[in-house]
Amino acid sequence: MTNLVNYRIYGEENTQPLYILHGIFGMLDNWHLAAQQLAKDFRVVTFDARNHGKSFHDDASGYAVMSEDLGRLMDHLCDSEAIIMGHSMGGKTAMVFADQYPDRVQQLIVVDIAPKRYVPGHLGYFRAFKEVPLHLLNSRKEAEEAFLPYAPDMGVRQFLLKNIEPLPGGGYATKSNLEAIENAYEEIIGALQFHQVFLKRVDFIAGSKSGYIKAEDKDDILQHFPKAQFHEVANAGHWVHAENPAGFLSCLLQILR
């Protein structure tokens, strides 16, 4: 099938499907540990969003087309409906999908993102990929050092470096289609436009140290998702599942049960 995203399945075939959508500059690997744990009770599907990881590259990179990609993958795997969970950009995609195809969403879980506009926070990372001479790097260690000024936090730096891969003749190149992602960036950080109210259960999970979901965002969220419930994972910032994996998983399992 053309334009099918790169995906991975964990768990038994006859268990309830749970799809996980990653954030900007992410890929399915980011959710490997959580997916392994969840696979005891669910058939977990992780996938690379278009223009990310090993998925196809395309000029379009907005929420409508990313939502269609999810629907196409569900069709391919014969899932008429599923639990949908998304983090950050993936959380916004999941909300758009729930708005467009409410019958296909059994339960919606949104990790550390609200449907509002955000201040641009990734411009330095786009600059890093443009300014660092990837083709001249000889090792992962050199890449780490080159990205240090753009991403002083080691966790963020390692996360970004997942987007590069060694070339057969030496040097590195980006896996992701940065041009398409950057062209869609205003939409990615922008406010979502909904066409209906989603009446099924929705759970928003925030990191206690994140600030991506503020108290004043909750009224707006409840207008679109009146059954929304809010949860907080201690000792975690925006990358909740990576910064406090045990706390995140405990919170998530309570929601799913």
In the set 68, 81, 144, 179, the catalytic residue is 179
Longest dimension (CA), the chain: 55
Residue 208 is a catalytic residue: no
In the set 55, 88, 176, 210, the catalytic residue is 88
Cα–Cα distance, 150 to 68 (Å, whole number): 33
Name which of 182, 176, 151 is nearest 163 in CA terms: 176
Q: Which helix (H) or strand (E) holds 102?
A: none
Residue 88 is a catalytic residue: yes
Strand partners for 60: none
CB 4 within 8 A of CB 76: yes
211: left (phi over 0), alpha (psi -120 to 50) or beta: left
In the set 22, 52, 122, 238, the catalytic residue is 238
Residue 13 is a catalytic residue: no
CB 21 within 8 A of CB 88: no
Q: Give the Cβ contact number of residue 175 at 10 Å.
A: 18
Helices (H), 11-139: 32-38, 63-76, 89-100, 123-131
CB 213 within 8 A of CB 236: no
Q: What one-letter code names the amino acid at 207?
A: G
Give catalytic residues, as residue numbers.
88, 179, 238
